[in-house]
Amino acid sequence: MTIINLELMFDRVQISLNLLLRTMSSTTTDIPTLEELREVFDKRRPYFHIKNGRSEDGVFKFDVKESLVASEDTFEEDLLLISFPIAYMDNIEPVLNHFNLNTDKDNFLNQCREVIAVAENHQDEKGGGKMSFQSLFYNIPESIQSVNYDAVIVLSIHVYGKQEEAKDYRIVGYIHANEFDFAPYDDETKIERGYYYNMLRVTEHAENGVKIYRRKKIFSLMFSILHHLVYQNGVNFCFACMGKENESIKQALHRNTLMHGEYYERLPFTMYSKINRLYGSKKEYNKLVDITKNEPLLRKYYEQMHAKMKDYLFYNHLNFEDFQKLFLSMKAYSPTSGIYAHLDASGNIITASGAMNWGEFLTFQIVNPKGVFILAQKSGIMKHFFKPSMGIGKPEDYKKLLKGLCYKYHKEAGVGVTVISTSEGDEYYQINKSLLDDQYAYFIICNDEEKLQQFKKRSEINGHPMLFLDQPII
């Protein structure tokens, strides 16, 4: 994926005309004119990527690469645009000092929490969508780092302080870009690189009752930074999940990818929720075995899971060692998370699944619910979630395992709801369905539409392209 160089801008804009025409039938978003595109590319903001972090004589040092990114945002004042690996959050003071900002680490982390907690909108202005929600994280950055250790954090910062040093600032936009490899070819040693985006948030800070950063195309600005980031790192495919009715992100995605001459599409899936107290089974709970730290069984699970899912689009667990590292890291932070199985009398795996207790990472709050979600909100059951992933085994056996896990998380951790990502083609689709559902979409951005269509075709089961929906990343 590439960002448009200024000297190539007009040539690329001409090329993007084909994209404009091609996508008119598949989107309701306003199509920008060539004049609008040219005006947008006249506006560029400085962007700083922080890299090569290291300790020199006990002091955290790093390099800074400065670039310019094209933006269509309409915010009237300067914005500081920076990105850095998530591990640098442990040493954020020197980074803040480099830009003459207030170096208080607690202030920085509190601002990150505040922006992350902005409600993720799954509703449109016409009443579509069943709810929006807030994610209130514990222990930032430790909770996020335990599963997102390869993430790059992208920030948009409004520096409003007038002092020369230790300037006051406000974090306006926040995104994670998680780099991964996937192998969409018959030759599994041939890989593609990609980014999985999550935590796409813009602050709702208000002054005199006005949300001063909203309707300023800040989301589009953040996408421009992401375009530049993937250009720097030679990444060809990007994807993220979003509420199907999230108009702000849909519009930013549409306009920004067109302006950068890239191809994109959205593929729907559903997140179903099961009430653990009703769905769980004590009998199946008593059969559960935690195999996370049992390397022989964990390896057997991985081999079966890999054989099942290796052709799924964006499946990224390409070797056992990295897979094991991820789940051991997750379990070190969240003791009730891990890989759970039902075994036969000889100790062989009948069925197994990954399990992530989101309740040990965050508190979940529904905003403006509709339908059955109103009752769910009033009952308080949706405060904490458990999410199964990468299930293996016959459907009738997996259903028993899922019932046991639902009982486990309700009984042991007070988790009220199990959330399951699924789509048609999933062998567990009928098992996963429930009355509580929320519609999502994966948006995919790439610089090679032909390859993407080939990869989708290769992933198909019974005519349905299979996306890897089981990212443990929050």
SS3 per residue for 72-139: CCCCCCCCEEEEEEHHHHHHHHHHHHHCCECCCHHHHHHHHHHHHCCCECCCCCCCCCCCEEEEEECC
Pairing of strands 237-243, 44-56: unpaired
- Residue 233 three-state SS: helix
Based on the fold, state whether residues 302 and 235 are members of the same structural domain.
no
In a domain, 457, yes or no: no
CA distance linking residue 384 with residue 364, whole number of Å: 6
439 shares a domain with 317: yes
Q: How far is CA 65 from the centre of its chain?
A: 25
Question: How far apart are alpha carbons 272 and 285 in whole angstroms?
Answer: 21
CB atoms within 10 A of CB 79: 21
Whether residue 116 lies inside any domain: the answer is: yes
Same domain? 301 vs 172: no
What is the distance between the alpha carbons of residues 256 and 261, in angstroms, rounded to a whole number? Answer: 9
CA distance 330 to 303: 20
In a domain? residue 29: yes
One domain, residues 248 and 277: no
Domain boundary among 240, 261, 282: 261
Asked whether the CA dihedral 239, 242, 244, 246 is positive or negative, the reply is negative
- Dihedral sign, CA of 180, 186, 188, 192? negative
At which of 204, 230, 261 does a domain end? 261
Same domain, 318 and 369: yes
Q: Is residue 293 part of a domain?
A: yes
Average pLDDT, the chain: 83
Same domain, 255 and 282: no
Is 251 found in the same domain as 168?
yes
Beta partners for residue 201, in sequence order = 174
135-179 pLDDT, tens digit each: 666 677 888 888 888 889 999 999 998 888 899 999 999 998 888
List of residues 6+ apart from 85 with CB closer than 8 A? 51, 53, 151, 152, 153
Position 467 in a domain: no
Q: Report yes or no on 198 lying in a domain.
A: yes
Q: For 116-131, what is each residue's pLDDT tens digit?
A: 887 665 444 454 444 4
Pick 367 or 246 by higher pLDDT: 246
pLDDT tens track for 189-245: 999 989 998 888 899 899 999 999 988 888 888 888 888 888 777 888 988 887 766
Rounded CA-CA distance 218/155 in Å is 11
| Statement to judge: residues 250 and 314 lie in one domain | no
Write down the pTM of the prediction.
Answer: 0.82
* Domain coverage including residue 434: 272-447
Residue owning tokens 């699924």: 422
Q: Is residue 7 pLDDT above 80, yes or no?
A: no
Q: Are residues 305 and 220 in the same domain?
A: no
- Please identify, among 230, 261, 292, the residue that sits at the C-terminal boundary of a domain: 261
159 near 210, Cβ under 8 Å? Answer: no
pLDDT in tens, 403-454: 999 999 999 998 988 999 999 999 999 999 998 888 888 888 888 899 999 9
Q: What is the domain-level CATH number for residue 119?
A: 3.40.630.30
- Are residues 73 and 43 part of one domain? yes
C-alpha separations of 19 from 14, 244, 250, 359, 449 in Å: 10, 22, 16, 42, 11
The set of residues, in sequence order, having a beta carbon less than 8 Å from that of 295 and lying 6+ positions away, is 324
Number of structural domains found in the chain: 2
Same domain, 248 and 288: no
pLDDT recorded at residue 365: 61
Beta-carbon contacts of 242 under 8 Å, excluding residues fewer than 6 positions away, are: 200, 249, 250, 440, 441, 442, 443
